[in-house]
Structure 1
């Protein structure tokens, strides 16, 4: 861990991220069709294609950013390749898909952490969605559901290690505010993109 301190890490940044994004998080969850009676294989495929358009653009920006906090293994957390695997299994060419043009700004390490908080949290929630897709559509990781189970049985451990990392980074009040704003922007950009792709309820 690159950020070591003699005192226990404060969870304030986590609390601020949770409270600051709660409204946006709940609003988006209500509009996602994973638990809708209208969800069929065609709609699921369109949803994954929209996810790809956002994740490919967002992860590409992260990969080219010089603001990734020291010691954070970004490449172990990338999820676009799982989306590519799913889309190909569902006979969709990723090269034919549009990419999201409006993304949250990465102006500091704190803003990067805010974005990562949303992406990693979505991966944790994906484990629940994976079970729903398996029951409804009969898909597993090898034939269209790799993205929702990208960390496999290590999902909980990956989430905990991310939170440990997040809470160990020394962030002052201004930096915490930057993290929350970036997290909120991530939710907003993602929802607006999904809206444009007409995949939300």
Structure 2
């Protein structure tokens, strides 16, 4: 029986619940560090690949991508792979990269939504990082920084579409908790993974 008491929207709940983890991870990413050189950037993108590869695969294998979102437009892996190629890794080297084994549990559509929220939010944030990488390293979409601008001119639109999609979900409090827990787990596991790859500050 659902309570009639008003509860925060799903988007508001996600923002509130993930804020601390989000800020903590942002502070440790080396994009704005003086230490950021081509070698560190290459290692960082290889670490991103090691997390996104098994995570995207899990989302697809479980077929838990919420219906109504065109997930084919939101796959990041081929772009990330192309960046690594542009940064000097061949197919064999990319295939040999370590991949994260400790991933957030995705056992429901609600959990898949939480994971997707983090991945889509990172895509929006990539716009700021793209400018930084261009200034600091001289990289653009053709030389190893396409992942940071994976949606190009559609970035704002796709983020708004995703938020609208979240807004249209009529989830009860238990499902909302599943979404926020999965989002928090995604941030936590991502930070642990990047830490293990020694690419964080």
TM (normalized to structure 1)?
0.93
SS in 2 for 1:179: helix
Q: Which runs of 5+ in 2 are unaligned?
A: 1-6
1:67 CA displacement: 2.2
Q: Deviations over 1:161-184 (max 9, x none)?
A: 000111111110000000000000
1:109 CA displacement: 0.9
- Distance in 2 (alpha carbons) for counterparts of 1:44 and 1:70: 35
Q: Deviations over 1:113-139 (max 9, x none)?
A: 100000000000001100000000000
Q: Which residue of 1 aligns with 2:133?
A: 133
Is residue 78 from structure 1 mapped to residue 75 from structure 2 by the alignment?
A: yes
8 A contact 1:54–1:190 mirrored in 2: yes
Q: How many residues align?
A: 192
Q: Which residue of 1 aligns with 2:49?
A: 52
Q: Which residue of 1 aligns with 2:99?
A: 99
SS in 2 for 1:147: helix
- Distance in 1 (alpha carbons) for counterparts of 2:130 and 2:112: 27
1:11 CA displacement: 6.7
Q: How does 1:32-47 map to 2 (within 5 A)?
A: 32-47=29-44
Q: How does 1:140-179 map to 2 (within 5 A)?
A: 140-179=140-179
SS in 2 for 1:142: coil
Q: How does 1:184-199 map to 2 (within 5 A)?
A: 184-199=184-199
Q: Which runs of 5+ in 1 are unaligned?
A: 1-9
TM (normalized to structure 2)?
0.93
1:31 CA displacement: 0.2
- Distance in 1 (alpha carbons) for counterparts of 2:64 and 2:36: 38
Q: Which residue of 2 aligns with 1:6?
A: none
Note the aligned Cα RMSD (angstroms). Answer: 1.1
- Distance in 2 (alpha carbons) for counterparts of 1:16 and 1:150: 26
Once superposed, which parts of structure 1, at least 4 consecutive aligned residues long, lie more than 4 Å away?
none
